[in-house]
Structure 1
Amino acid sequence: MLLLLLFVPISLPFLAFFFCRFSFVASSVPLHCYSCSTIDAVRLMAEVHDPNWHNWLEQVRTVPRTAKCADPFETVSALRHGVRSQLCSDGICLKLWFRDHQKGGDGHVWRWCAKNAEGRLRADCTHIKSSKGELEVCTCEGNLCNGSAKTAQNTAAMLFFPSVATIAFFIL
């Protein structure tokens, strides 16, 4: 295809068509995200009585729970210990990390495909730190991109997950 470009008179409409066609092909590839958690959702469900939290914890409970989901994320080891790759047809890959300063430790991680309602999420990261704990939410659009320690910087992702910040700082 690139060889063809050498012999075709290049015009603005032709370039627009070429790049639009290339973008369509690239975006039609199915997106996959890692799916796992280090969170004991069953234990938390017994402690939390709010129905919204139960809905959120039900989602966490459906992904494999393994310590290999934590950072640093080592793909081969993680896959051997139950981490899955899930199809993310109408969403965006997401990684959520949080730590309670009172409990200490390395914190907890949840990796999954989040529904991208009306395209409101974009690939980015948000990091929030308080006296009670820390929270980082990263979203990305590349295949299995939520296996990295960090993706980018953003506040839009946190607007979509305000309840996650509350549970991370006050419940855990």
Structure 2
Amino acid sequence: MLFILNLFLIFFKCKIIYFKCFILIIFINKTVGDNLYFHNIRCYSCTSLDGEKLLNDIKDFNWHKWMENIRYAPFTDGCSDTFTPDVALRSGAKSQECENGICMKMELTQVNGTSNVWRGCIPKSKDQIRPDCTKISSNQGSMEICTCNSHLCNSNKKIKYNYILIIIFIIICFYINFNI
């Protein structure tokens, strides 16, 4: 009976340690995770789109006004969907500060399979637009807009800094658990 009681106490002690680690992970993720490196994040800025042609095709005033920013994004073939930061930066892409905003990646795919990408910053939108992806399709093709809110997140990297933090703290929790 004493053995079972000891096992229960050890199990209960482990549960408390895991719970404390879980709370610590959530706290650090919320306080540090989103702005891990910079108050104003940086975004990749480039396009493989013909901006003038795109602007001529857009009739809606609000979309046209927002899309005028494409003129300021450096044109480079390195901005395609097979984006590699080193190659893109050497071919003309930029890293720009995004004042209180979020990064975005817009991919336009025509019915014939031709795909073009625009990466950039949506300034002063941090509290208005949440990180997400939206895809719109029509008989002419599709458009996918993805937004994110961490440093240089509009590349093709799948792992984010928040996940790295969680992994590090899980390892710390296991270390604490086995050394107590």
Query: What is the TM-score when the length of structure 1 is the normalising length?
Result: 0.64
Aligned position for 1:72: 82
CA contact (8 A) 1:73 1:149 kept: no
Q: Where in structure 1 are there 5+ consecutive unaligned residues?
A: 1-9, 11-15, 152-172
Residue 152 (structure 2) aligned to one of 144, 167, 171: 144
Partners of 1:118 and 1:79 lie apart in 2 by: 25
Identity %: 37
TM superposition shift of 1:145 = 0.5
TM superposition shift of 1:94 = 0.5
Instruction: Name the SS of the counterpart of 1:144 in structure 2.
Output: coil
TM superposition shift of 1:120 = 2.2
CA contact (8 A) 1:126 1:136 kept: yes
Aligned position for 1:119: 127
TM superposition shift of 1:50 = 5.7
Rg (Cα) greater in structure = 2
CA contact (8 A) 2:47 2:117 kept: yes
Provide the alpha-carbon RMSD of the alignment: 3.5
Q: Where in structure 2 are there 5+ consecutive unaligned residues?
A: 1-19, 21-25, 160-180
Aligned position for 1:34: 44
- Relative contact order, CA 8 A, sep 6+: which one is greater? 2
How many residue pairs were aligned? 138
